[in-house]
């Protein structure tokens, strides 16, 4: 990593269109989604560049990171294949540069209507009344649920040897331990246990 003490001119650096294109490539390699169009990646890169413009620290970190990428790539990072580009990013994954890109990308790449459409996310539902009445059971990618009713004999399962805890039947209904009475709700169970 190049340090600002060695290169004080980095503080006045302006990020170029080439830097933007390298950044887009970095984001695409770090967050690979073949089905995503270029737009969300480009908008995320623009967000990173805007944040860097507003903070000298992030601008210096971004500039240093881009210089380091060029050096590690042995030239233009954009020309590396996926495997080599990933290896380069693994070498810098603990740097301030990569942390800045990762944080900003996670918050911005997936907060995008184009990405939502591709991933099948319908967007926030609070203003539409929540998910209970809107898409809660809208799972068209799962097979239909197989719902059957048990029609076999009812066998009681002893869950405790003490007299005060109720056994549970195989149908899910509680049974009062002392009287053997089948109880359908919690209040009735409590009153039976209290007897």
Per-residue pLDDT of the chain (195 residues; tens, 9 = 90+): 444 445 555 444 557 888 899 999 999 999 999 999 999 999 999 999 998 888 888 888 888 899 999 999 998 999 999 999 999 999 999 998 999 999 999 999 999 888 998 988 877 877 777 766 666 666 677 777 777 887 777 776 777 666 555 545 445 555 555 555 555 555 555 565 555
Residue 96 lies in a domain: yes
Q: At which of 58, 92, 119 does a domain end? A: 119
Residues 26 and 99 in one domain: yes
CA–CA dist 161, 189 (Å, integer): 17
Closest CA to 22 of 94, 71, 90, 95: 71
Residues 6+ apart with CB under 8 A from 120: 141
How far from the centroid of its chain's Cα atoms is residue 169's Cα? 41
Residues 6+ apart with CB under 8 A from 178: 163, 192, 195
3-state DSSP percent of the chain in helix, strand and coil, to 5: 50, 5, 45
Q: Rg of the chain's alpha carbons, rounded to an integer?
A: 30
Residue 143 lies in a domain: no
pLDDT attached to residue 121? 82
* Structural domain of 35: 8-119
Query: The whole model's pTM is what?
Result: 0.61
Residues 6+ apart with CB under 8 A from 21: 78
Residue 50 lies in a domain: yes
pLDDT attached to residue 78? 92
Residues 15 and 98 in one domain: yes
pLDDT attached to residue 178? 53
pLDDT attached to residue 22? 93
pLDDT attached to residue 125? 76
Residues 6+ apart with CB under 8 A from 83: none
Helix segments in 9-160, DSSP class H: 17-30, 38-54, 56-73, 82-91, 96-108, 113-119
Residues 27 and 115 in one domain: yes
pLDDT attached to residue 94? 92
Instruction: Domain count for the chain, please give it.
Output: 2
CA–CA dist 154, 186 (Å, integer): 20
Asked if 170 contacts 187 with a C-beta cutoff of 8 angstroms, the reply is no
pLDDT attached to residue 163? 57
CA–CA dist 79, 140 (Å, integer): 40
pLDDT attached to residue 71? 92
SS3 sequence of 8-50: HHHHHCCCCHHHHHHHHHHHHHHCCCCCCCHHHHHHHHHHHHH
pLDDT attached to residue 38? 92
């Amino acid at each position: 990593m190049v340090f600002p003490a060695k290169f004080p001119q980095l503080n006045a650096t302006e990020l170029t269109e080439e830097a933007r294109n390298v950044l887009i490539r970095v984001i695409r390699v770090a967050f690979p989604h073949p089905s995503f169009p270029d737009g969300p990646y480009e908008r995320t890169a623009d967000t990173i560049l805007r944040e860097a413009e507003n903070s000298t620290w992030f601008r210096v970190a971004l500039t240093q990171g881009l210089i380091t990428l060029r050096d590690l790539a042995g030239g233009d990072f954009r020309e590396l294949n996926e495997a080599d580009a990933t290896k380069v990013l693994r070498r810098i994954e603990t740097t301030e540069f990569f942390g800045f890109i990762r944080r900003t990308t996670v918050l911005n790449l997936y907060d995008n209507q184009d990405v939502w459409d591709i991933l099948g996310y319908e967007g926030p539902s609070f203003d539409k009344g929540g998910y209970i009445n809107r898409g809660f059971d809208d799972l068209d990618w799962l097979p239909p649920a197989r719902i059957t009713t048990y029609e076999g004999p009812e066998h009681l399962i002893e869950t405790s040897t003490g007299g005060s805890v109720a056994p549970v039947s195989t149908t899910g209904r509680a049974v009062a331990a002392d009287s053997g009475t089948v109880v359908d709700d919690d209040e009735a169970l409590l009153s039976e246990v209290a007897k």
